[in-house]
A and B are shown apart, each in its own frame.
Chain A
C-alpha cells in the first residue's frame, strides 16, 4: 500500500471539479492504474477510501456506520465477543474479519457480504455528500474486503442509490436532515400500524438526530435508513426537517437566573447553581481535590446510596 503523505504529495491529489470527473473520475483513474493506496477525501462527510490492486477494499467515513457499528448496534455480536476477537486478531497478526470467522462469530460468506454492503454504503455516503478534494494519505484499511470490490460496480451502485432516492415522492431526504416522529395519534391515521422495526426507529426520531445519526443508532445502513424514513414520511409517521433546521427545542435552561448576582457566581466567574447534587450543600470548591471528590462520588455504584440519578435519560418523546 502506498504511504504517500498528503502534506508532501502535491501530485496525486484532486479537486471535485466536474472537468476531470470529480472524485468518481479520480477513483477510476487510480483503479485503472492498479493502485494500492488510501485516498483521503475532504468534504462533508468526507472519509478515506482504500484501494488494493485497483479495487476498493474499504472506506471509512463519519457519514455511514462501519461493520463494527452494524454488528454491535444491531445486536448481531456482543461487545465482549468483538473485544475478544479484536484482541486476539491484534495479538495473532490476523485481520479482524478472519478472526471473527475463525471464532464462528460470522460465516466466511457472511463476513464478506457484510463488508461489501458496508463498503457500498460508505462509498454512497461519501459521494452523496460534499466533496472538496482528495489526496493520497498514509492509512491502513482496518478491515479490508477480500477480494476488493470492483470500482465500477461500487460507483454505479452509488449512482443508482442517488437516483432511487431522487425518484421518491416528496422532497429529497438528505443524511443531514433531522427527523421527528409523529405523535402516536397520527399513527392511527396511517394506512398500516408501524411494525416492530419501524417502532424502534420512530422511538429514536426525536428531532435532534439526523438520518445519519439514526443509521448509527440502529446499526443499519445509511441508504436503508434514508429509504425507510422517506417511506415513513409518506405515511405521515415522521416529519423531516431540512439540513440545518431543528424541529424541537433542544435544551433545557441551566436554571441559572439571567440576573444572577455576585453571590450566584462561582469562583470561576461563571454563574451556577448552589446546591451540591449529592449532598444539597453549597458547592464552592476550587481545588483539584474537591473536583476529584465530586467525581469519585459520581463514580460510586448507585447501591452505595448516591442520591444522583442515572447517567442517561430516555430520549425525549
Chain B
C-alpha cells in the first residue's frame, strides 16, 4: 500500500484543521494501519476505534438514521471522532478543546475519499483488476 501517501493524507488533514492533535487509520478488526497520534497508544486506539465504529453503525441502523457519518466524544480536554473509510477501515481524529469541528467536517470528506482509494488500491481485490 502507498502507506506514505496514506500518512500524507492524515498529516494534511492535521495541517488543515486547527485543533487536531493526532490521527490514525485502523482496520475494521482493530489493527493499526497507520498512525500519527502524537503520543496516544495507537494499538489501543485502533482496537477501540473498530469497536466504536461497529457500535455506532449499529446505533445508526437501530434508530433508522441511515449511514453513519461521524461518531464523536467530547470531553473536558478535547474530542475524538471516527469516520468509516468505505467498508474497510476507520479514521480516528483526536482533537484538543479548540478542535474546529466545522472545518473538520468540511475537510474530512475529501480526505476520506482519498484514503478509501489508497486503501482499495492496496486490497487483493483491487490489485486483481
Which A residues are within 8 Å of any B CB, using their own CB?
Answer: 44-46, 61-66, 68-69, 72-73, 79, 82-83, 206, 208-209, 212-213, 216-217, 244, 246, 250-254, 256, 258, 262, 265-273, 277, 283-286, 288, 290-292, 294-295, 297-298, 308-316
Contact = CB atoms under 8 A, between A and B. Distances in A.
Given A82-B76, A216-B97, A254-B3, A268 B44 contact: no
B44 A270 contact: no
29 contacts: A44-B103, A62-B98, A62-B100, A66-B98, A69-B98, A72-B76, A209-B21, A216-B97, A217-B96, A254-B3, A254-B42, A265-B124, A266-B27, A269-B122, A270-B31, A270-B33, A270-B122, A271-B33, A273-B31, A283-B30, A283-B31, A288-B54, A288-B55, A291-B28, A291-B50, A294-B30, A295-B52, A309-B41, A311-B41
A269 B89 CA distance: 9
Contact of A268 (B7, B27, B38): B27
A254 B96 contact: no
B28 A63 contact: no
Contact of A216 (B3, B11, B55, B96): B96
Given A270-B27, A315-B39, A65 B15 contact: no
Contacts of A298: 44, 47-48
Given A212-B18, A256-B3, A271-B1, A266 B48 contact: no
A82 B33 CA distance: 38
Nearest to A216: B96
Given A216-B98, A254-B3, A314-B39, A295 B29 contact: no
Contacts, number: 166
Contact of B27 (A208, A272, A295): A272
B19 A62 contact: yes
B123 A269 contact: yes
B1 A283 contact: no
B28 A216 contact: no
Given A62-B18, A256-B3, A270 B119 contact: yes
A294 B18 contact: no
Interface residues of B, number: 52
A295 B119 contact: no
Contacts of B34: 251, 254
A206 B32 CA distance: 23
Contacts of B119: 269-270
Contacts of A66: 97-98
A267 B29 CA distance: 8
Q: Nearest 8 pairs between A and B by C-beta?
A: A295-B51, A272-B31, A269-B123, A62-B100, A270-B27, A62-B18, A291-B51, A268-B28
B110 to A, nearest CB: 17
A311 B24 CA distance: 14
B18 A251 contact: no
B108 to A, nearest CB: 15
Contacts of A62: 18-19, 98-100, 103
Contact of B48 (A206, A286, A295): A295
B58 A288 contact: yes
Contact of B32 (A244, A250, A254, A312): A254
B71 to A, nearest CB: 13
